[in-house]
Amino acid sequence: MKKALKIIALVLGVILLIAAGYLAYVFISYHRIGDQPIDVSGEAAGTIGTGTEYKIVSYNIGFGAYEDDFGFFMDGGDRAWAWSKERLDLNLKNIAKLLAEQNADLYLVQEVDIDSTRSYHFDEREYLIPALGGMSYTFAQNYDSPFLFYPITQPHGSAKSGLLTFSTAAIRSAERVELPIESGLTKFLDLDRCYSKNRIPLSDGKELVLYNLHLSAYTSDGTIATEQLKLLLNDMQKEYEAGNYCIAGGDFNKDLLGDSSKYFGKSDKEYTWAQPIPEGTFDGFNVRLIAPIDEKDPVASCRNADGPYHPGQYKLTVDGFMVTDNVDVIEADVIDAAFRYSDHNPVEMRFKLN
């Protein structure tokens, strides 16, 4: 009996030692990437000028895994990885084709994995860059996590991911700007939030400053995402006052319609991760929010991926744009891809620079 107890105690000790070592590894490995310049690639032949209509598309591709039968563990589903290498490959090809079919002048793409367990270490840029050939592009990394042993049955693993921006006009320079995140344990599950800031020169010496963003979702409340938004608004205001044109787009992880249930109906479950943007957030800024919606035939930009897509699932619009007052917005809408390739649908906006 004593021998059995010693063996049990030894096994428990080894388990505790492994657990302590793993926790130490996670804490020691954790870091933030910080502000830094990012490389510009590609040789775009187009130009951007005033008085001409342009089209911009933003799409959170959900690291290529979120097909319409996919549920992610952090949203209440049971999957941490894409279904298989073969399905991921086909889905990424479909995403690249869908984007190319939009024939846009500018693209903002979020959740592009470059070396992650969850996406079988595919470099997903290799699908998107050739599909949007002839464009200038930048990549800003916003996820570089240590190996996470959760869920136990399918560990999320390590992840490297980011924001990919394309332009038919040459991008002069670009930078990664760090955003605040929560300081508690949730920081290990959140991305290393940032936005990319891309400068596109105009013929008159001014610039179109293009921002690609993906704000926080997995937080204790919505205040961090609002703080992130305020930092971006201050940046856009400074550029506007310098005479430049500013467009920001991406995944805000906020209910951009205020109450999306008015358009898409009540869901069969209650969720609180996407709150409306607080009133007064835009006060004092020459910046306005563009929430894409066709009120006659409304389409949501996002579903809560707690399981396969179904009509009663929580749907809302969290993807959209912000523009400074010198940008004339002609139209903004959600592209109905029926959530076939991602838990998001792409959003588009047509605009002119005044």
Average pLDDT rounded to a whole number, residues 22-29: 51
Helix (H) / strand (E) containing 165: strand 157-167
For the stretch 167-221, pLDDT in tens is 999 999 999 999 988 765 554 555 678 999 999 999 888 999 999 999 987 655 5
- What is the percent of the chain where pLDDT is above 70? 87
Quick one: tokens of 104?
């846009």
- pLDDT surpassing 60 at residue 22: no
If phi > 0 it is left, if psi is from -120 to 50 it is alpha, else beta; for residue 221 that is beta
In this prediction, residue 53 carries a pLDDT of 98
In this prediction, residue 145 carries a pLDDT of 78
* CA dist., res. 113 & res. 76, Å (int): 22
pLDDT tier at 20 (50, 70, 90 boundaries)?
A: low
Q: 10 Å Cβ neighbour count for 212?
A: 30
Instruction: Output the CA angle 290-163-223, nearest 5 degrees.
Output: 60
In this prediction, residue 186 carries a pLDDT of 55
* CA dist., res. 88 & res. 69, Å (int): 13
Average pLDDT rounded to a whole number, residues 110-123: 97
Q: Measuring CA to CA, which residue among 121, 36, 110 is closest to residue 85? A: 121
Which DSSP string corresponds to 317-340? --EEEEEETTEEEEEEEE---TTS
- pLDDT surpassing 80 at residue 308: yes
Quick one: tokens of 321?
């744009």
Backbone angles phi, psi at 123, to 5 degrees: -90, 100
How far lies 297's CA from each of 264, 292, 303, in Å? 10, 12, 17
Which DSSP string corresponds to 87-155? HHHHHHHHHHHHHHHT--SEEEEEEEESS-GGGTT--THHHHHHHTTT-EEEEEEEEEEEEE--STTS-
* CA dist., res. 72 & res. 66, Å (int): 8
* CA dist., res. 138 & res. 39, Å (int): 6
Average pLDDT rounded to a whole number, residues 138-167: 88
For the stretch 251-294, pLDDT in tens is 999 999 999 999 998 877 777 778 899 999 999 999 999 999 99
246 with 324: CB under 8 angstroms? yes
Beta bridge partners of 157: 148
150-164, 234-248, 328-342: segment of lowest average pLDDT: 150-164
pTM: 0.91
In this prediction, residue 25 carries a pLDDT of 44
* CA dist., res. 291 & res. 324, Å (int): 14
**Alpha helix segments (H runs only) across the chain:** 2-29, 85-101, 125-131, 223-241, 261-264
Q: Residues 282, 287, 293, 295: what is their CA dihedral angle, to the nearest 10 degrees?
A: 70
In this prediction, residue 47 carries a pLDDT of 87
3-state secondary structure of 261: helix
Question: To which residue do tokens 């084709």 refer?
Answer: 97
Q: What rounded mean pLDDT belongs to the chain? A: 89
